[in-house]
A and B are shown apart, each in its own frame.
Chain A
């Protein structure tokens, strides 16, 4: 089928306002929040599962790619089309279908925004625990695809720990159900397997999630250090001593000054690093943990440990953290955020390594990360207009991720692989590992219609062509 004919058919399905193919409309869907870029031929906005089925069937017949997309807040190019085709946008499937407070579950369409679900559940004193920094915009469908995390995943786990059931449309247009409201279901855990599959196995059209009870008390501490070493050692000591904050974030001196200038969150301008530590639970538990945390910080030469006095101060500290990357964006024409993970005992060591990488390539690297679970987000600053800097940035990023893997870690803790790190998968996985994953992929998406050229390394025979077509990164930020 010709693309123009396909567009006509698709408009019959989704209505005239649900299919976009004018360049000025389509170009809005070229990016996510990372550096990847790619243009779709068509943007299609379905209103229902049945429409998704018909779209999948037609696209499969015509062998046209489908790239599902939520709010486009991803950081690994998961929702960016790599070889044209259809971008399937869920901005018209945004209903919370049910909040079943008694069972602590919600059933939602994929376009529901993460934070809106927590807001809707708040009247039952419940919330959805995964809290990516993009939670004001990012959708649950996107969270499911990427298995998103956030600061509080330290205590509560990533998205997969909070999803119990899915309805999925396969590339063939067939609808499959998996799981339900029960915490675990008999049979293969396809729900768990599909979460984090980055839109390469199926298109999620309905999600059943766990809702968690809001804690009695939340305390937010800001521990201030003169050196990044002291802060890093504090993280290691906290974990080793069995202190379990609900979030444990680190910002290095340069980053926190940048954040402070942009947001006035109350971070000290002259320190080497800060830890943002959140404690949750019973009043008694929070009080004891706060004392224990302060003791560990002081033993590691903290200059000061502050506690947010009220909700406003608390929100301000978090606003600084959650807007950190936006603040960096004010200073640098472009930045490239990594998502490597190391065992928590290796944090001091990996930070020294990153400093070395920064010097080696002459690039500024800001460190801001989920220290409690060893999930680093070094932001490499560069000028996208300078090809030499672009190349160096890539090399620096790869150096850092390679070191993470050598330390027993991972190339992505929460952002996903997408088209950003697919060539790096072989750092972590053997050919046999990847072959097993590829076969499972092909069992559900045999023609590669769904989100093609993501997650897996490009087969050697095709690599040349694709790299020359899609140089990365090319998006101005």
Chain B
């Protein structure tokens, strides 16, 4: 928006949401910058209707809007050309319904994952999304980014347990899909469209979910192996067994350094997290047999899984250039992908660390510069890795040095028809005001 228009827009926004919820002080806006691009104004609507007013204004004035929750994943995507309005969902944080007896919960999009996990854990239930920075990450944000954690192995992804969504389209329509019961096929499944749309189709204002009973006890059985092949053989043994663990995670030797796991340094670890009674845990121990090097429980177990969840953040915070990729692929292609990532690292002078859900094919790969290497090496590594992947796999950047974004395709390819995706985008956001230029196409 032009400088001359800014005061007028801020005033109109204040009219829509209240003056206290509009921020146009440049010092604060600098702090809210995405990839170094500060928003023209930040606004915090208090209801779906207020979100609609903001979006109608933006539509009318052709202003670019970036929806924002806790800001933990705003760096994903191309560098924004501009952000006129940062639309913050923090005030949309009410619990709309929670019926422990029904195992369902509905919350505003600005509710943090941490708060929701705490709410249901008081009733011995689980909201199974153990993402990084859970105390900041919001429900709207993790839906938009289709974020996942280790619990995806046992409970599925957010697309599997989200049962309803409320959103506002770019042209100001307050609408919903699904509902609040666990089974419902009425109407189009708009939850699926919103999940993984990275804030480009609508502003998510609320959602309902299935939650799950907490297991009586949990224990993590860790196998530590000298080679990737042995680790994958362990994975195969678990998949071929009758066990159905909550988590099944691989940690590469390079990734161990970011988890500070005692005793496993330099090894390939497979973590099998089991839930159930003592008898059930004993059965896990018996089935896994000599593959188990360590058994983790209590605080030590919780700490390990916390570290797994925070892996991408830990990498990003270390000094030096680094990149973290989200790699989604068929499970049989994982070993080859991990080998390719190490080769990509080696040939570009980078360390390559891999961690992830080897039973369902949701992995994270980090390339880390050991010395003063130019960021181009990171770009070469990701290009090399993508070339080795099957056509229906994808590898997109969760984190990279800002200056690299102009020289790197942060998304890579999608197996899904681009023209069809564009048709959806132009239906819900005809003027392309939501996260303009940041997504895949």
Contact = CB atoms under 8 A, between A and B. Distances in A.
A343 B181 contact: yes
Contact of A413 (B97, B185, B193, B283): B185
Interface string A219-242: 000000000000000001001101
A102 B176 CA distance: 38
Given A433-B176, A436-B428, A182 B393 contact: yes
A288 interface: yes
**What 7 pairs between A and B have smallest CB-CB spacing?**
A180-B392, A242-B213, A192-B192, A216-B242, A187-B414, A186-B394, A176-B417
Given A215-B242, A344-B103, 14 more contacts: A158-B185, A165-B415, A180-B392, A180-B415, A186-B414, A192-B159, A197-B188, A239-B101, A240-B100, A341-B184, A343-B180, A374-B182, A414-B185, A435-B173
Given A188-B196, A196-B189, A288 B280 contact: yes
A345 B414 contact: no
A413 B156 CA distance: 20
A440 B427 contact: yes
Given A182-B328, A184-B362, A288-B280, A189 B185 contact: no
A192 B104 CA distance: 21
Interface string A399-436: 00000000011111111110001000100111011111
A27 interface: no
B73 to A, nearest CB: 14
Interface residues of B, number: 84
Contact of A440 (B125, B188, B276, B411): B188
Interface residues of A, number: 87
Contacts of B415: 165, 177-180, 182, 185-187
Interface string B120-147: 0000110000000000000000000010
Nearest to B326: A186
A181 B392 contact: yes
B10 to A, nearest CB: 28
B304 interface: no
Question: DSSP class of A's interface residues: helix, strand, loop or mixed?
Answer: mixed
Interface string B100-111: 111110000000
A196 B440 contact: no
Interface stretch (B87-95, B255-263, B265-273, B329-337): B329-337
A244 interface: yes
Interface stretch (A114-122, A279-287, A356-364, A464-472): A279-287
B415 to A, nearest CB: 5
B298 interface: no
Q: Which of A103, A104, A242, A437 has the most CB of B within 10 A?
A: A242
A186 B412 contact: yes
A352 B186 CA distance: 24
A190 B181 contact: no
Nearest to A414: B185
A129 to B, nearest CB: 12
A14 to B, nearest CB: 26
A281 B181 contact: no
A134 interface: no
B332 A177 contact: no
